[in-house]
Structure 1
Amino acid sequence: MSEQQQDILRRALDHDGVIPRSDYDAAWNRYQDCVVAKGYTKPVVEEFVDGLRSPLWHATSEGWSEEQHEKFIEDNGNCKQLEYLYVDEIYRANLGNPNQYTDMDTAVVDCLRRKNLVSNQYTLTQFKQEDAQYNDVATKNFTTDRYDERGEAASKFSFDLNDPATVTCFIANGKDYYFREDTSPIWSPLNTPTP
């Protein structure tokens, strides 16, 4: 872990574990610089509400040798751990899971309750039922030209899936797949043309 990432974590200890957005952004920028210094292009991921960045990058490795792919995975992982990983985890937890639930669905329900997006009577069981209905519609629509996970599928939730506070609850708890669009940025680390 870099000294800069350690400094952010030390400062957070002095402020009830809170990492300000400026430190989160600085850690992200150092991670990007690290990857560029290793010979790749600047990492690109989806950025959501509250500055949260998707933990999943859509990197294209078409045409790479196995050695190139393995080296990229290692280099990217090393940069992430060195500059950004721990800051990212704590920043997410502060926004969406301050009670440190290990079950992400429980963390989402807790976050929705804390942000008054659902009533205190809203249960994990209810969330799982609504989520199953969402997935049924999204899956059905995916196989047609009516793919519309934000419209018809989203209506299966009893809360507004598109509310910025809801987005934070989902993204902070690793559920960014609900918000992926066909327009999500594709990162081409070796600057090869995207398909």
Structure 2
Amino acid sequence: MMKYSEDRTDCENNYSASIDDIFRTQVGNPHLYASQTQGIVDCLIREKLVSPSYTAQKYVEETSDPNHPPKSFNQKDMRVRGCEVANNYIRGYIGDPVEHLW
């Protein structure tokens, strides 16, 4: 049991972050775009959350200014947020549910 515990701890400490990164990339940026924004936009297009003509520049314009007129997508939609998180862009909103684990 001690050996199992040591091996499990070693695996979690040395490999789980890499596995998480690979999985997230595989889901959120399968074309391996170097640009985080392009990865997000590609995911939004694949998920049919924006039109195929939607661009990374348009995404930057719409998300960088909170006073921008209505966006092409609902930023609070969990599918949109999934595309962002899968490309290492994480943000929260007022009113998001909060889970206190400790």
Larger radius of gyration: 1
Q: In structure 1, what is the equivalent of residue 78 of structure 2?
A: 164
**Residue 183 (structure 1) aligned to one of 84, 90, 98:** 98
CA deviation vs aligned residue, 1:77-125 (integer Å, no higher than 9, x gap): x875513111101110121100111211111011001111000111111
Unpaired runs of at least 5, structure 1: 1-29, 35-77, 138-152, 188-195
Q: Distance in 2 between matches of 1:182 and 1:160?
A: 17
Count of residues in correspondence between the two structures: 95
Q: Structure 1 131/80 Cα, relative in aligned 2: closer, same or farther at 3 Å?
A: farther
Q: Distance in 2 between matches of 1:106 and 1:124?
A: 5
CA deviation vs aligned residue, 1:119-153 (integer Å, no higher than 9, x gap): 0111111111001113xx5xxxxxxxxxxxxxxx8
Q: Structure 1 91/128 Cα, relative in aligned 2: closer, same or farther at 3 Å?
A: same
Q: Distance in 2 between matches of 1:179 and 1:82?
A: 32
Identity over aligned pairs, percent: 27
Q: Secondary structure at the match of 1:176?
A: coil
| 2:37 maps to 1:122 | no
| 2:12 maps to 1:83 | no
Q: Distance in 1 between matches of 2:92 and 2:62?
A: 13
Measured on the aligned residues, the alpha-carbon RMSD in Å equals 3.0
CA contact (8 A) 1:97 1:107 kept: yes
Q: In structure 1, what is the equivalent of residue 87 of structure 2?
A: 173
Unpaired runs of at least 5, structure 2: none
TM-score where L is the length of structure 1: 0.41
How does 1:1-40 map onto structure 2 within 5 Å? 34=9
